[in-house]
Structures are given as C-alpha cells and as structure tokens.
Amino acid sequence: MIRILAKSVLASAALLAAFGAQAQPNGAYIATPAETPTKTVLMTRDTAWQLRDGAYVATNAPMREMAACQLVARSTGALSGFSANGQSFDAAALDTCNAKAKGGKAVAAKASANAAPAN
C-alpha cells in the first residue's frame, strides 16, 4: 500500500513539474536590451535577472512593472521590449522606461529609432 502511495505522489509531482515549467510564472518580467547583452546575470535591487535567448528574465520581481523596467534600463541601456505577466509595454510606456536608460535620453532615442521599421 505504501509503495502504491509513493508511486502516486511521485507521478503527481512529475506531472506538476512538467506543466509548471511551460507556464509563465506570476510576476515574470522579460526585458529585451536594444544592444547585445554582455552579462548573463543582472542584479537590480533584490531581483536577479537571467539572460535567456537575448532577453533578461526575472520570475519574481517584488516591484511595479515600470520600476522593474527602469532598473534594467539603468543597468543595460535602452530596451527594445519589456513585458510583465505576458503583457508587453506599448511604445509610450517603453519610452518612459527608456528615459531612465544608461547613457541618458540619446541612447533611448537611438533605440527607438532603430526599433521603428523603415517604410
């Protein structure tokens, strides 16, 4: 009986781990730098950001979305994209975030100009 119970618990844990790994966690932030990142880990206040596929990801940032975006921009420079809980910042919010970018407004303006498609 104990063996059956133990096998059931292990099977349940494996299923939960498989489904949990695919879902975006609550509080997940994704910051995409305009320039190629040079660090694999970035620390902002109490939040560790891991570099994944060219973007910094934090699964638990105990702050507002704009504050998180601005802290990353201060450390890395202008961002070409930022999302919180699966919701991407629009152009106006990204401009507000990039106003705090490392290098100042000139770097943020350059990143915005590079992000806009030429017609």
Q: Which residues on adjacent β-strands are paired with residue 98? A: none
Mean pLDDT of 76-87: 94
Burial of 76 (0-12, 13-18, 19+ CB in 10 A): buried
Of 95, 38, 87, 49, the closest CA to residue 65 belongs to: 87
* The pLDDT of residue 65: 93
Adjacency order of strands within the sheet including 47-52: 41-44, 47-52, 55-58, 29-33, 79-84, 87-88
- pLDDT band, very low/low/confident/very high, at 21 (cuts 50, 70, 90): very low
* The pLDDT of residue 105: 52
Tokens of 94: 């990204």
Q: Encode pLDDT of 40-66 as tens digits.
A: 999 998 899 999 999 999 987 788 999
- pLDDT band, very low/low/confident/very high, at 104 (cuts 50, 70, 90): low
Q: Give the predicted TM-score (pTM) of the model.
A: 0.65
Mean pLDDT of 104-111: 50
Write down the mean pLDDT value for the chain.
76
Report yes or no: 81 and 95 within 8 Å, Cβ to Cβ.
no
Of 68, 70, 74, the closest CA to residue 59 belongs to: 68
